[in-house]
Chains A and B, each alone.
Chain A
């Protein structure tokens, strides 16, 4: 189930350094309020000024099945969901069984007893706290408040800010009326009392905020929606698909306030077609989907490249192939994102590391689409989609926005004029003297069909010429060198949310005396080969961890550069943990 590669010595090391960098995992049956309890802890910690980074898994089914919500909270900046939990709150026997292997000496267990459906055999060294969650909720005549009893107990035991939690509970249930709020607060208070009656033996307590910062707490999906609004989104065409739907949900709620349009299409083919139609009409347009939808869009993405129509397509990757593992994490659409269409077509592919990137790189995606009149694909992934994180308040005025180059009205209008940089001015319908055709047929400068060898070569060259300067429009890929100036023993290349895992792994490796550097590209296509080469030149060995079977980025790195990174792939439906990277690097260097 879980990819448990953690080793004991690492666990010890971690425990010493991070008693206040606390990871709490709540697990149980879907529908028992696991997710809402986790959300409340997240909100309360963020209110108290802590950094939070959450990780969730839930079943593909609507009711029932195993659900898990993990909150990592710290006074320090967080980059990933952590290795494994410090505290497990088990709502039922299944949750306990599934997590039993990770209940190591030194972790804490809060569980439903007496009155639950299981009596655990407590492993040695585990701090155990039985709380009668089900029984108490029944006794209070609010059986749905089992999660509130658990929340109260967790709050008492691990110093999760009580005042903030009470505020969050009030806000959450406020709409349902005062009686509901009071019932939940009563269950919460009873949970605290029950825990207070137990003797606390573990060392865990949620840390204090180092400084009060101006933050928002958002999921990756909502942050992409926000990024699009900041970028000046006018038109969004949606088709529901897990795990991308919350982007549309966010945009549907807020875009009308900005007088924009969100429409739900009949399928993904229609979605991308509508986006192309709206963009031709002069509007900033986007859609978001997951792998199966991107497969359906690939024909129109070729048309967008050929007709030079700007558009932004977000792919929140999930487990594949085919229907695959719809609610699970994977980074396996890179092949499709970069080359998925017929003919010889180009595009720009960006990938996001964290929630902050979801805002910033969505704006960047629009800027690049508008500037180069190409489709821009933004890759997110299943764990980032639902991961809520604290990020600095995104000031909308701090972003530079790019508009497409429009015809100045001088001379004869040629939609596909051959220019030095390949960029030809566009003209919105309604512009006098600039009627023209946007077409998927090969065409001359005026848009008229032309299949001569010279024309096709000149036009392909024009379209691809545009992509040559993309890397210069982006900040260079980050090199995470720590204090290393010399040749590193190991260089780790990572993309997407794996980057955050590598950041922490490198800190631990350096603490263990290993010279380690990281390389974190956000522009994946066109691949900034020179930047890769420069990084590779400073490392003795290279590792490229990614969550897919074939080693998709490693494939492109080998094809586009002289580097030969060792590919480290997993595809169990879960992200890497820092421990896994640390262990792998130590193996390589042993």
Chain B
């Protein structure tokens, strides 16, 4: 065959070789078909570990009660028992080693998440004691009068 047939063929072979070379360099070694098969499991295996390594920020009440037993006991016997400390105080993050990472939020916006009265019958919201935040002392923080760790002890403050 004449050279004008071979010359473009060399180029094609060269391009294919280049693509294959680039693939071996760029595609990670653990990339392949996972346990869920080709359709759903085609991925880089190492990414599963990447996601597992994300830092836990919310450490739950079990972590808080190790030091703050008094507050935990107050809370445990109150109607607020099911509310996690971190819902209001923010995630423990680096606390207690790094105190500034724990924020304390006393804003009434936290309380009215549940206690703004919405009389919805299809939801537990209708059964929660609530106020109208626009008329119920709009200028004050709720914690001035109500003790959030046990709202039943209203005389505590």
A binds B: no
Q: Which residues of B contact A (CB under 8 A)?
A: none
Q: Which residues of A contact B (CB under 8 A)?
A: none
